[in-house]
Amino acid sequence: MPTKKIKPVTPGQRHRIAPVFDDITISKPLKSKTKGKHKSGARNNRGRMTTRTIGGGHKRRIRDIDFKRDKHDIPAKVQTIEYDPNRTARIALIAYADGEKRYIIAPNKLKVGDTVISGERVEPDTGNAMPLKNMPSGTFVHNIEMQPGKGAQLCRSAGTVAQLTAKTDRYVTVKLPSGEVRLILGTCYATIGATSNPDHFNTTLGKAGRSRWLGRRPITRGVAKNPIDHPMGGGEGRASGGHPRSPWGQSAKGKKTRKRKKLSNKFIVRRRKSKKA
C-alpha cells in the first residue's frame, strides 16, 4: 500500500503525501456491525473543556471490531478489506462457516478469499489467532492480549508487529515495537503477522484543515505564550522558555513519571528507553 505525491495545483497540496487506497475493496461498511459515535468536543458533564487540541472532525460511525477472536475452530473467509476512520490499520470483514460475520484488524497482505481461523491448535499462518504458548519462537504477531479473554490491547495500529522471542512454562517473552521486552501469559491470544497499512507513517497531511477534519485542534507552543498562561512563556524576544514543562508545571522530556511500585513492573524484562544490548 504505497503513497503518492500530489501535483501541487493548490498550496495545500504542495507538500502533501497522500495514501493510496488500492487495497480497499468496498466503500460502505456492513450496517449491522456499525453504530453512531458520540463526540464530546473534549468537554465533561459540566461543559468544561478537560482536554486540549480535541474538537470538530468529520462525522464517523464505529465499527464493531472482534478483538477477542473467541469463535474457535470455525474457519472464516475474508469477504472485504475496508477503511476504518477510527483507526490507522485496515479492517477485514470475515464470514464464518456458520454464517456469522465479524470485523477484524486486517493483517498485512491478507486478501479477499483467504481463510482465517482461531483456536488452541491451528497453523501459524497470517491472520490466524492462537495462544502465545503454542506459537513457535520467533513468530511475528499483532493484536496481543494482556489478560486472557480480555481482548487484544497491544500492536493494533498500522504497520505494528511484535516478536515472540522465548517461552517458559507459564510466560512467553515478547519484544514490542517500542523496544520493550515484556512477559505475557502464554494463554493470551495473539494474531499471526503484522498489521496492515504499513505506509501510514509516510503520509503528510499538507495543510492545517486536513488535521481539523481528523478532529485535531491547533496547538500553541508554550514559549509563544505569556508568563501567566504557561510556565515557559514570556521573556524578551524569542526566549527558550527554560526547562520543558507542561502548562501545569509537570516536567517533560526525560522525567520518569511511571510509578515505582506499579504491579506490572515485574513483567517488564527491558524498558523501552534502556540501552539496547
Per-residue pLDDT tens over the stretch 199-230: 999 999 999 999 999 999 999 999 999 999 99
Report the run of H or E that residue 104 belongs to, with start and end.
strand 101-105
Contacts for 72-77: CB closer than 8 Å, 24+ residues apart: 72/118, 72/119, 72/120, 73/117, 73/118, 73/119, 73/122, 74/98, 74/117, 75/115, 75/116, 75/117, 76/102, 76/115, 76/116, 76/117, 77/113, 77/114, 77/115
Q: Which set of grid coordinates corresponds to residue 155? A: 500492536
Which distant-in-sequence residues (6+ apart) come within 8 Å of 105 by Cβ?
Answer: 65, 67, 87, 89, 90, 91, 92, 142, 143, 152, 156, 191, 195, 196
Q: Which set of grid coordinates corresponds to residue 79? A: 469477504
Tell me the percentage of the chain whose pLDDT exceeds 90.
91
How large is the average pLDDT for residues 161-166? Answer: 97
Looking at residue 273, its pLDDT comes to: 78
Going by C-alpha positions, the residue among 184, 171, 149 that lies closest to residue 162 is 184
Which distant-in-sequence residues (6+ apart) come within 8 Å of 13 by Cβ?
Answer: 6, 7, 206
Looking at residue 256, its pLDDT comes to: 84
Distance CA 266, CA 258 (A): 13
- Domains of the chain: which residue ranges? 3-200
Looking at residue 107, its pLDDT comes to: 97
Looking at residue 241, its pLDDT comes to: 84
Q: Which CATH class is domain 3-200?
A: mainly beta
pTM for the predicted model, two decimal places: 0.90
How large is the average pLDDT for residues 66-77? Answer: 96
